[in-house]
A and B are shown apart, each in its own frame.
Chain A
Amino acid sequence: MSESNQLNTLNQQAVARYQNNFLKEVEDHVEEGQWVKMCMQCGVCAGSCPFGAHWEHSPQKLFMMIRAGKREEVLSTDSMWLCTSCYNCVVRCPRKLPITHIMHGLATYARRLGLVPKGQPTEEFATLFWNNLAKTGRINELKLTLGHYFKDGLISGIKTALGMQSIGIKMVLAKRLNPMEIFGGHGIKDLKGFQAIIAKAREIEDKKHGAAH
């Protein structure tokens, strides 16, 4: 079974199991999702978000949509992917909802189900970052940066890289960037142990929410 088919199945299972009770699904599968029912719709989060104007649906609206059972719309919006974790909403919420965490929880859950809009830049960068990190247990900045520049193809990658050239050279001179890292770079001491931790964490997650990719 291909990955997308697998995701599709998982998604359908969730739909069937919760019979349109999306709030319950969120409570069971989204990090801090049990808080969604406590929102009192005051709108302070929406008004506090520095990126609010760019969100298709504010946190306030997302909570209302969850209660209204708008599963597809919530999980396929890219709103929660715009959260920069500034925690303004969390600090201000009169009902003490951990809104930032719920946003990340929703994003993660949407990704698990394969419902993230295609080409969502935050999701793409997050995937790149994770894969980079998981390989050696630490970030290879050169590879991460280049991977990011060239994500949309060779031509645009070269353009971006040339544009950033002077900064890159300065960073090399200041010993903030090692060009030799291009040949694989260095990893952490106990890479095996690290990978075992990651594997275990994934096992727990999958057991809880169903296997994703």
Chain B
Amino acid sequence: MAETKTAAYICAGCGIGDKIDVGQLEKIAQKEGKMQVVKRHDFLCNEEGVQLIRNDIANEGVTHVVVAACSRRSKTEAFDFPSIAMARANLREGVIWVVAEGSAHDEVRQEMANDYVRMGCAELKKMKLPEGNPDKAENRRILVVGGGMAGMTAALEAAETGYAVVLLEKQSKLGGWAAQLWKRVPFKEPYAAPQDTGVAELIAKVSKHPRISVHLNSTIAETSGAPGRFNVKIAQESGAVSEELVGAIIQASGFTSYDITKLPELGGGLPNVIDQAGLEALAISANGAPIKRADGKEVKSVTFIQCAGQRDESGTHLPYCSGHCCATSIKQAMYFKDANPDIETVVMYTDLRVPGMGEDFYRSAQEKGVVFTKGKASKVETTGSGSKVSFRDLILDEDTSIDADLVVLATGQVPNSGVNIDLPDDDPVKTQQVSILNLNYRQGKDLPQLKQGLTDSHFICFPYETRRTGIYAAGPVRRPMDLLQATEDATGAALKAIQAVENADAGRAAHPRVGDLSYPMVRLEGCTQCKRCTVECPFGAIDEDERRFPVFNESRCRRCGTCMGACPVRVISFENYSVDTVGMQIKAVDMPDEFSERPRILILACENDAYPALDMAGLARHVYSAFVRAIPVRCLGSVNAIWITDALNSGYDGVMMMGCKHGENYQCHFVKGSELANYRMSKIDDTLKQLGLEKERVASYEVAITDSARVAALINDYVAKIVEIGMSPMKGFA
């Protein structure tokens, strides 16, 4: 590697030069920061300024650059030098925009700017230019697990984009649930009547596509590897096992209908009480003629009971809404009404939910004479040749009943998620579960579940993303949905899979640090085999070898640094983000003595939400104390306890940790990072006690990206509290 040459470029634009003595910054960069080249410019992000840096890189052999200007989140197009390592000192959003106006604050403002330059230089010296993941793998084939609507759509979309696809189906034919429908809920204009499913055409397209190879009667015996190099053993019903190498996997394993016999109070198990799938079967066998019951009697009256075993608050049945069932019952009621308007069709609901264009469909059913009764069924029993449905009429507020030849229960979707890896191994539920992917990952055989057995990592923020890089979930296995949503889901997941194979080939990270070339490096000779990294990695990227040393699968890694935060012996690091890059910044701050009345507060802010919130506080000119020094971290999960200890030892009066919301409805971009950080920090009290410090000196906050005003208030309140407690007695020892 070429020789290192460091340089600092200090911008005086955007008012920095008016409020801060830039000359002082230059001196600090030179004398304290030991930068070999130090230059100032009045408008660094303009063409001339950027050219200045480019020239130095090209002609002067500069390899490491500190840009002391605006936030690292600003002007990223201008300050884009992919061939060198770069640190940014945030003088604009972090200093001049947030420190109170007026000459009374000149001194603290200058101190703050000086410190940020010191910190930038300190960080830079520990940084290396990331060279890209050596665990590159170029397999671009995509495996789709499940041959239903979502699986077939994903396969076709990926194949049409030019990628080879392996489509795997457990049954003897493609089609899944969609093939078992007589008609589907309308998905295009005029949203007034059931439409053809189009499944036969889709199956034909998929079956003869030159880039799709279909494996029927097949399951996965084992999945190993990482994005770009998954090795999948496919077991056929016959017992034969074949191996396929693929770059990414889409799991579209669908759902199972909630077992109707679990609902005896609603007649589950009685001969004339069926579920929605049962009615589809009757409609298919009628093939357009009047629909007959299993006993051959023509149906003259039918009652649909919505939310059967769903939205259950008692904890016995499904607690959630499956989303499609209202529209499905409306569609099925139309099977009857369209054939014979005299057939009595009643849809009994508590809340009718018809998302999308479903409202038109609902109106169309009302026009056709389908009766909608707002009521809650309590009992279904056989009477004479039909059934009696006892229910509470929720509008008329009375108990009443209705007779019907046939009762249809709208039961919900239960995701086919495989094994719930979070259950203990001896849990009776877990031992019954059959794995879908059979991953040989250290953390378990299947994808982690979010809630209610649904395979997802965040319903709103990261659709299709699972917590296993390169493996994406699509369709009702991810969340309950209808055919149209499953189709859209599949298309999205196909694009994600394509991104995954392309990133794996380029040695780059996938979501959310897309394109990041750094990757975790471990110094195994220092490792104590404690297993914390392998257990805590939110993405199951780290396996263990036979001696219980961690085996990093870099392509599975999302670069959050949770392993780095977990490691008690600090042997895990990234080229441009390590215990040292942050540790040296912490130590670089000039620490005023105990009697200065100028406390120093360290802020460790998550770069995804908290740091942008701090930037936006600046943008909105929310004034906060000049006693804080903020360092962005990839995730609070990457915060190593040594940073806190170091900070307290070197005389900081307080540490504020700012991360994303964790737990239920979490917002952490790395799913478990902030939760783990919170857990680790709950143990920091011992450290504080050892040091003889008050427990208020370390505080954790949940900060959302929208919290720009709140974050300034949090800082000011915390500084006031520290001033009240008094200065740290640790100053001057480090």
Contacts and interface: CB of A to CB of B under 8 A. Distances in A.
Question: Is B a genuine binding partner of A?
Answer: yes
Interface of A: 23, 37-38, 40-41, 60-61, 64-65, 67-68, 70, 95
B352 interface: yes
29 contacts: A23-B371, A37-B366, A37-B367, A37-B369, A37-B371, A38-B367, A40-B352, A40-B362, A40-B366, A40-B372, A41-B372, A41-B374, A41-B395, A60-B395, A61-B395, A61-B396, A64-B373, A64-B374, A64-B393, A64-B396, A65-B396, A67-B371, A67-B372, A67-B373, A68-B373, A68-B396, A68-B400, A70-B396, A95-B363
Nearest to B359: A40
Nearest to A64: B395
Contacts of A23: 371
Nearest to A37: B366
A67 B344 CA distance: 11
Interface in B351-380: 352, 362-363, 366-367, 369, 371-374
A24 to B, nearest CB: 9
Contacts of B374: 41, 64
Contacts of A41: 372, 374, 395
Contacts of B371: 23, 37, 67
A178 to B, nearest CB: 51
A81 B491 CA distance: 57
Interface in B26-62: none
B334 to A, nearest CB: 14
A70 B395 CA distance: 13
Contacts, number: 33
A37 B363 CA distance: 9
Nearest to A46: B395
B371 to A, nearest CB: 5
Nearest to A38: B366
A113 B374 CA distance: 29
Nearest to A70: B396
Interface in B608-655: none
Nearest to B362: A40
A40 B358 CA distance: 13
Nearest to B395: A64
A38 B373 CA distance: 12
Given A37-B367, A37-B369, A40-B352, 11 more contacts: A37-B371, A38-B363, A38-B367, A40-B366, A40-B372, A41-B395, A61-B396, A64-B374, A64-B395, A64-B396, A65-B396
Contacts of A68: 373, 393, 396, 400
Contacts of A95: 363
Interface in B377-426: 393, 395-396, 400
The 10 closest A-B pairs by CB, nearest first: A64-B395, A38-B366, A41-B374, A37-B366, A67-B371, A64-B396, A41-B395, A61-B395, A61-B396, A37-B369
A40 B360 CA distance: 12
Nearest to A65: B396
A138 to B, nearest CB: 43
Contacts of A61: 395-396
Interface in B322-364: 352, 362-363
Contacts of B366: 37-38, 40
Contacts of B369: 37
Nearest to A57: B396
B703 to A, nearest CB: 39
Nearest to A27: B369
A95 to B, nearest CB: 8
A41 B374 CA distance: 8
Interface centre among B363, B371, B373, B395, by most A CB within 10 Å? B395
Contacts of A65: 396
A26 to B, nearest CB: 13
A67 to B, nearest CB: 5
Contacts of A37: 366-367, 369, 371
A23 B370 CA distance: 11
Contacts of A40: 352, 362, 366, 372
A70 B393 CA distance: 13
Nearest to B363: A38
A68 B363 CA distance: 19
B357 to A, nearest CB: 16
A65 B393 CA distance: 10
A40 B374 CA distance: 9
A142 to B, nearest CB: 46
A67 B352 CA distance: 17
B309 to A, nearest CB: 23
A35 to B, nearest CB: 10
A37 B344 CA distance: 13
Contacts of B396: 61, 64-65, 68, 70
B342 to A, nearest CB: 9
Contacts of A38: 363, 366-367
A14 to B, nearest CB: 18
A60 B372 CA distance: 13
Nearest to A23: B371
Interface string B184-204: 000000000000000000000
A86 B454 CA distance: 51
Interface in B705-730: none
